[in-house]
């Protein structure tokens, strides 16, 4: 079974600064998807960014980018020019590319609570 580990329960960043959230995962599969989700106090999970494991190029979405290190099984999220609205819980998630019972589910880490200081 796959596991996802987020070792930083809480992080804080000054507004307009850059912060990096860490995530490691364990899998024996070669093809899979990795995600970062944002969960604000409203509880609605929002997809921030997605990375396909077969792609060497790191994904980027506006101020959000990832550092995907497949060999190290590491998938960190960098938030540039942090804004007050970025304050939320951030979850790293893994999803298998293979079919079969349980394989399409998202396996989440425990999350990192990000605070943005004005």
Residue 108 contacts other proteins per CB under 8 A:
yes
* Interface with other proteins (CB under 8 A), residue from 1, 28, 43, 71: 43
Please, what is the minimum distance in Å from the beta carbon of residue 99 to other proteins?
A: 8
Q: Report DSSP letters for the chain, one per residue.
A: --EEE---SEEEEETTS-EEE--EEE-S-SSEEEEEEEE-TT---EEEEEEETT--SPPEETTEEEEEETTTTEEEEEE-S--GGG-EEEEEEEEESS-STTTTSPEE---EEEEEE-
Stretch that binds other proteins, among 19-27, 55-63, 66-74, 92-100 (CB under 8 A): 92-100
Interface stretch with other proteins, choices 20-28, 63-71, 73-81, 89-97 (CB under 8 A): 89-97
CB 96 within 8 A of CB 104: yes
Q: Is 110 an interacting residue with respect to other proteins (CB under 8 A)?
A: yes
Binding of other proteins at residue 70 (CB under 8 A)?
no
Q: Which residues sit at the interface with other proteins, rule CB under 8 A?
A: 4, 32-33, 42-47, 50, 52, 91, 93, 95-97, 101-106, 108-111
């Amino acid at each position: 079974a796959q596991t996802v580990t987020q070792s930083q329960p809480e992080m804080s960043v000054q507004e307009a600064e850059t912060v990096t959230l860490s995530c490691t995962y364990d899998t024996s599969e070669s093809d899979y998807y990795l995600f970062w989700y944002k969960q604000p106090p409203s509880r609605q999970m929002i997809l921030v960014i997605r990375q396909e494991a077969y792609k060497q190029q790191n994904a980027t979405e506006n101020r959000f980018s990832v550092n995907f290190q497949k060999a190290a099984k590491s998938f960190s999220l960098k938030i540039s020019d942090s804004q007050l609205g970025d304050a939320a819980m951030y979850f790293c998630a893994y999803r298998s590319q293979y079919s079969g019972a349980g394989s399409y589910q998202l396996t989440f880490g425990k999350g990192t609570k990000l605070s943005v200081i004005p």
